A and B are shown apart, each in its own frame.
Chain A
Amino acid sequence: EAEVAQSPRYKITEKSQAVAFWCDPISGHATLYWYRQILGQGPELLVQFQDESVVDDSQLPKDRFSAERLKGVDSTLKIQPAELGDSAMYLCASSFEETQYFGPGTRLLVL
């Protein structure tokens, strides 16, 4: 069964450093999402792509976060500089019709 791949699974960094997360969606899924999940809460959308175009990035803190999906397939989410409050699980999902399928996530700890 096809799955959404994410790497790394875990990342520990110091504040003010740069971090990057990678996501490879299920083959053929044109829509890709990045969510942030703070411990004990539900995921919140950061950015949504349709192919290589951004559909919604209204909740992305653009002063420090950036996301790209250059060829409309895999995607990278970057944080620079990281802050203590960025510690969370970062989830990637891709969708077929209206059902979203999630990857295993990247757990980020900022020290």
Chain B
Amino acid sequence: GDSVTQMEGPVTLSEEACLTINCTYTATGYPSLFWYVQYPGEGLQLLLKATKADDKGSNKGFEATYRKETTSFHLEKGSVQVSDSAVYFCALSDLDNAGNMLTFGGGTRLMVKP
């Protein structure tokens, strides 16, 4: 079945540092890929997405490129802020699966210190 693997956290960075959170996937079809962010006590917010190979999703300074050859979708940001502290989830949606359900990774907690 489909699966998503993320790097384990927590990831602790100083403000203005560069961020990379690794995400790799396995899927039987041609999935769409997503990054969601969850702030403490809240639901998940869509951060960015990519629907086909070589697409780059971007939002709020974050970006991720759909790499089919390495089955990866790593999240990057050039300069993090304290307000970026949250849990980040990589997910895939495989239209070959009935219902278009999302399969999530385990999440990576990011802590940004001033």
- Asked if A and B are interacting partners, one says yes
Q: Are A43 and B49 in contact, with the CB atoms below 8 A? A: no
Check A102–B101 contact: CB distance below 8 A: no
A100 touches B107 (CB 8 A): no
Contacts of A44 in B (CB 8 A): 104
Task: Give A42 to B107 CA distance when docked, in angstroms.
Answer: 6
- By the criterion CB–CB under 8 Å, are B89 and A42 in contact? yes
Contacts of A109 in B (CB 8 A): none
Known: A42-B107, A56-B101. Is A98-B89 also a contact (CB below 8 A)? no
Residues of the B chain whose Cβ atoms lie less than 8 Å from the Cβ of A25: none
Whether B45 pairs with A98 at a CB distance below 8 angstroms is no
Distance of A35 Cα from B43 Cα, bound (Å): 11
Are the C-beta atoms of B95 and A98 separated by less than 8 Å?
yes
Residues of B at under 8 Å CB distance from A? Answer: 4, 32, 34, 36, 41-46, 49, 51, 89, 91, 93, 95, 98-102, 104-107
Contacts of A100 in B (CB 8 A): 46, 93, 102
A42 adjacent to B106 (CB under 8 Å): yes
> Which residues A52-111 have CB closer than 8 A to chain B?
55-56, 91, 93, 95, 98-105, 107
Instruction: Tell whether, in the assembled complex, residue A91 and residue B44 are in contact, meaning their CB atoms are under 8 Å apart.
Output: yes
Cα A23 to Cα B45 in complex, Å, equals 16
A56-B98 contact, Cβ under 8 Å, with A42-B89, A105-B42, A107-B41? yes
CB-CB nearest in chain B for A101? B46
Q: Which residues of B contact A48 (CB under 8 A)?
A: 99, 101
Complex CA distance for A56 and B90, rounded to whole angstroms: 22
Query: A33 contacts which of B4, B101, B106 (Cβ < 8 Å)?
Result: B101
Contact with B along A13-35 (1 / 0, CB 8 A): 00000000000000000010100
11 CB < 8 A contacts A-B: A6-B43, A44-B104, A48-B99, A50-B99, A56-B101, A91-B44, A98-B51, A98-B93, A98-B95, A100-B93, A100-B102
